[in-house]
Structure 1
Amino acid sequence: MPSVRIAAAAILLAASSLPALAIQLSPHRATYAVSLDTSKPATRINAAEGRIVYEMRGNPCAGYSVQLRQDTILATEGGRVNSAVSTATWEEGEGQSYRFHVTNTLNGDSAEEADGVAERKEDGLVVTATKPERQTVGLGRKVLLPTQHVMRLIDSAEKGEAVLEASVFDGSPDARKVYDTLAVIGRGTRDATGLEAAATAGDLAGRARYPVTISYYERGGSSETPDYTIRFDMFDNGVSRDLKLDYGEFALNGTLISYEALPMEACSK
């Protein structure tokens, strides 16, 4: 059974030489209630519950920091499985450097960790990791970092582009893996019919949002089936709602239950 995790890129410039995108991401804290998606047949999973807390701060001048915590309890045929995933990242405003620390714990056992930094150099993105082992890996020129991916998704959505292909690195799960992603973006809407209360409050009220489905394929793999798929509604300021995390054998829903806009610092960029 795959480990329960969420790509921080989701809830999301192909190369550093591209011009910066004029997109304003909103610092915020969002909480999602996790449940089993009963619309998809599940293998050996009878129920699920949990919570995702996502917090993003920063701007193009200071860079963007993300704290994410996902706690999930799965009721399986063999008993309960408790998963805790935590990520802490910082990304330079134009995607030139990236720091990450990821922990993944199952049933309270010793956590698996990934820790390191990524920097853009002349020959591409270079990752220097301290965990799970000390290593230096070159990933190529066109690999996106998570906030870059978010901005590219919003830019494509606002331009009416229905498909975005991108290679993305976020540090998980082993400080070296790159995913080739395929995003399908639907038409935008401002219709608030059926939205949860948290998605209509504050600076989310009346905002355009777009349905997005992102399929993640491990680079170099031969399978035509994605490792996992994330579906969500993406507001034009980077906030997400109505999550669906499809791991193949089962899928989880993430329902937005609270949203708080955080202070936005001044930035001249």
Structure 2
Amino acid sequence: MSEHHELLSFNELQIEPSGPVEHTDFTDINRAVATFAGGVLNALVITDTERKENQEFARFANKSIREKLFLGRFEDAQSFIQEVAAKRKSIPGKGEKEPDIRSLLPACHIYRETEFSFTEGDDYQDLTGFGELSGDSGNVFASINKSFVKLTYTLVVLSWNRETADRIALGFSMWLRHTKKGRKHVFSAQTKIASASIRSTIEVNTPRNISPLSEVVDINKQRVFGYRISFDVIAEVYEAEAVEASLMRYVVSEPESMS
């Protein structure tokens, strides 16, 4: 019998799903969007502070972001003002006494609407097997898949004066409308999946709905004015699928002689 001469040999890593699957969620995305919105609000300023209609906005512009923007959804203006008052007491140097109700506004809060959808199109295709996660030994333990979701956020602006609400809503909305003309509109959320840190890229789109609101609060029987500004973002979401990896060795030999 003739000998087989090895012509070629190579190894191939075979990866097979082993069952468990983990996903990123919206928590870190919510925080990143709130941080982005806070940056926009912090950029809004006024130079004509002597004008009566501008004075409330000037006070808003001088507030820290902790007093300007809150993350969460509130049933009405009164419940939001009560939350602002409670948070004010926790700020060093400002919690010694009951805050002046008039000083609590203007302020804003931001929340995510509960519905979401997956984004389709050439730029947002699902990426199966987008990447792999390996342990310290170099062994692959998870395969990463990526998709894109569309999320809707609402910024609620509240103030005692209509002119102030107008200015904040107009400033925030115009800032978003010009994002793709040189202003930052893409940022990221740092999150974790399968014990690994990963960045979720977020893209902000222009406002899709701006609606006014007006209601009387029981605290001081005064009317507050405001707006709800809704805008969409497209965010990356990830799935980690546990896998088992095995190294397969393949050998190609000369065909056996027939003589």
TM-score (norm 2): 0.26
Higher helix share: 2
Q: Which of the two has higher C-alpha Rg? A: 2
- Higher RCO (C-alpha under 8 Å, 6+ residues apart): 2
